[in-house]
Homo-oligomer: A and B are copies of this chain.
């Protein structure tokens, strides 16, 4: 997988959280290893299908970070991952994927997005089952960690 495919997702994620939730995400080192696992308490997942590629994208948050974004973005204080929080995570997942889609479209890579799903559950893991490389990207913030994972396979 080309790094050209990954950067638009990273840029979209940091932009969305900065502008909508005044939260700075500091990118860590990307991991390519097959055994690296993204772990989180609430995650947004979305499938992508294009003429030449198909893949999947996930965005996992630790609970304290998800709750902080909720308060900063919507002014709503939540103490647990409720429906409002999963709605917000689904919306952020949509915005990030949509931003990356626009960016990649301008570079000649086209894909359509499926509808997002949100997983909630303490310390769950997500494994992307693709026949191709996967990239996990960790992020740090003042309120907790996030992980982005993205994979594409050629058709």
Contact = CB atoms under 8 A, between A and B. Distances in A.
A121 interface: yes
Interface in A5-53: 43, 45-49
B115 A126 contact: no
Oligomer: number of copies = 2
Interface residues of A, number: 37
A105 interface: no
Nearest to A47: B47
A130 to B, nearest CB: 5
A130 B115 contact: yes
Interface of A: 43, 45-49, 54-56, 58, 83, 86-87, 90-91, 94, 112-130, 151, 153
